[in-house]
Amino acid sequence: MRLVLLGPPGAGKGTQAQRLVARHGIVQLSTGDMLRAAVAAGTPVGLKAKDLMARGELVPDEVVVAIIADRIDQPDAKKGFILDGFPRTVAQAQALEQLLARKKLKLDAVIELVVDDNILVSRIEKRVAEMRARGEPVRADDNPESLKKRLSAYHAQTAPLADHYRKKGLLKSIDGMAPIDACTAAIARHLTVPAARKAPVRKAPRGGTRGSVKARSGGRKTGAPKARTRKPVTRKTKRKAAAAKKRPAGRKLPRNTAQKRRSGRARRLTKRR
């Protein structure tokens, strides 16, 4: 399975990616983590990315595309992967498509976690406070100014990807403000909908489908109900059926005719008097 996780900083991409790793046995490829590792190791890529990242700006497309191209060729990515933080621009998405097409591979789905900006800010502030309390190092870009930049970079450069993937029929949008487990469940539902359930639901034939499934399917316990060969319902047959329903057994004339006759005789009697 090959997935893309789309969402602003603090949307919960990392958390959901870890759960997808555990569930599907595929690898998480986070460009943010790879770039931070490059910065920490002081590689040429790290040197290019360091200041841009600290300011909350995007690293050039060609740099991240080259990292991803290398990474998806590794043996552990053969079974599938979750891209977390990549692609982040339409140009990166196109580069990814070309990369996969050359390998005769395709994306299975793009999961978008939708979260309001005000919630993102408080989530990141909480994350920073918790990391400080545990004595852990805080990311260079987890400060109010860089966060503002990361959010505006997301809206300007990454959010248009939702439309890009919607047009391709790959986008699954999830409410990222729901509790973590509910998000996980929503993602799982999107990824496991069988083809049969995706087909448009056909209305039951007019006249109802009362009776047990067994009766409807002609005594068969499993499989689709047998095709029904009913007479077509016309206005005439409907009228007949309605009249038969109203008429009690044994009564010869329809009630309204008898009533008419009685009321005619009553009229004549009144006239005579």
Contacts with ligand ADP, residue ranges (CB under 6 A): 9, 31-32, 35, 52-53, 56-59, 64, 85-86, 88, 92, 141, 150
Instruction: Of 112, 149, 106, give the one whose Cα is nearest residue 7.
Output: 112
- Residue nearer to ligand ADP on the CB measure, 155 or 226: 155
Smallest gap from Cβ 6 to ligand ADP, in A, equals 10
Smallest gap from Cβ 130 to ligand ADP, in A, equals 15
The two three-digit tokens of residue 129, written as one number: 């406070």
Smallest gap from Cβ 149 to ligand ADP, in A, equals 8
Smallest gap from Cβ 58 to ligand ADP, in A, equals 4
- Residue nearer to ligand ADP on the CB measure, 85 or 184: 85
Number of residue whose CB is nearest ligand ADP: 32
Smallest gap from Cβ 14 to ligand ADP, in A, equals 8
- Residue nearer to ligand ADP on the CB measure, 121 or 216: 121
- Residue nearer to ligand ADP on the CB measure, 149 or 216: 149
Smallest gap from Cβ 49 to ligand ADP, in A, equals 7
Smallest gap from Cβ 166 to ligand ADP, in A, equals 20
- Residue nearer to ligand ADP on the CB measure, 150 or 172: 150
* Contact (Cβ atoms closer than 8 angstroms) between residue 169 and residue 196: no
- 3-state SS track over the chain: CEEEEECCCCCCHHHHHHHHHHHHCCEEEEHHHHHHHHHHHCCHHHHHHHHHHHHCCCCCHHHHHHHHHHHCCCHHHCCCEEEECCCCCHHHHHHHHHHHHHCCCCCCEEEEEECCHHHHHHHHHHHHHHHHHCCCCCCCCCCHHHHHHHHHHHHHHHCHHHHHHHHCCCEEEEECCCCHHHHHHHHHHHHHCCHHHHCCCCCCCCCCCCCCHHHHCCCCCCCCCCCCCCCCCCHHHHHHHHHHHHCCCCCCCCHHHHHHHHHHHHHHHHHHC
Q: CB-based contacts of 174: which residues, under 8 Å, 6+ apart?
A: 111, 112, 113, 114, 183, 186, 187, 190
